[in-house]
Structure 1
Amino acid sequence: MTITRDDDVLGGEPRIQGTRIGVRHIATRVIEGGSSPALVADQFDLSLAAVYAALSYYYEHITEMRAFEASNDAAFDRVRDTSLKPKEPIQ
């Protein structure tokens, strides 16, 4: 499997070619979630080789991947801070 980037898919983040599954999706499940690569491959209906290709890309481009994570976190914070909130608690 090849890792590819396309500005029109996932905002240009690296992903597994032919899918909308990003490298960060795989890395998050394996690294942060503690799932085995085999389980992640099964969950996403991918080959084990594709999962390892994504993990390899993640570690080979760790600075780039952390920049994507920081950008995504900042965007989430902006949306959360500007979203409509009830003026008083709902009872």
Structure 2
Amino acid sequence: MSSIVRTEDILGGEPRIEGTRIGVRHVAGKVVDAGYAPAYVADQLDISLGAVYEALSYYYDNIEEIRAVERENAETRDRLRESSLQPKEPVS
């Protein structure tokens, strides 16, 4: 059976299924947010159904941690969007 691990050099240290680059947030997003069946997610991601349930268990046991990661990622996206080059305004 797989386990949930964190390593700083993979997915920025987010919790993920060991031996993969599949994050707990990714699995939870498909099952919890998108409403896909765990068996479907396991098939689509080519992981065991047990790994899906383990990721979901980690998600529910650590929901505040996952929410903090989501907030941090959103803040980073906003900062990058603000600092990226924008096309010039058209001249009339």
Q: What range describes the TM-score normalised by the shorter chain of this pair?
A: over 0.9
Counterparts of 1:36 and 1:79, CA distance in 2: 34
Counterparts of 2:11 and 2:74, CA distance in 1: 15
Counterparts of 1:80 and 1:43, CA distance in 2: 31
Q: What is the correspondence of 1:6-45 to structure 2 with a 5 Å cutoff?
A: 6-45=7-46
Root-mean-square deviation over aligned CA pairs: 0.9
How far 1:83 moved relative to its partner?
1.2
Report the residue type matching 1:80 in the other structure.
R
Q: Which has the larger radius of gyration?
A: 2
Counterparts of 1:82 and 1:33, CA distance in 2: 31
Q: Report the TM-score when normalising by structure 1.
A: 0.93
Task: Mark the runs of 5 or more structure 2 residues left unpaired by the alignment.
Answer: none
Q: Does 1:65 align with 2:66?
A: yes
Number of residue pairs aligned between Structure 1 and Structure 2: 89
Task: Mark the runs of 5 or more structure 1 residues left unpaired by the alignment.
Answer: none
Identity of aligned residues (%): 61
What is the match of residue 50 of structure 1?
51
- Deviation track 1:4-23 (CA, whole Å, cap 9, x = no partner) reads 01011111110000000000
Provide the secondary structure at the position in 1 that maps to 2:80: helix
How far 1:88 moved relative to its partner?
2.7
Counterparts of 1:34 and 1:80, CA distance in 2: 29
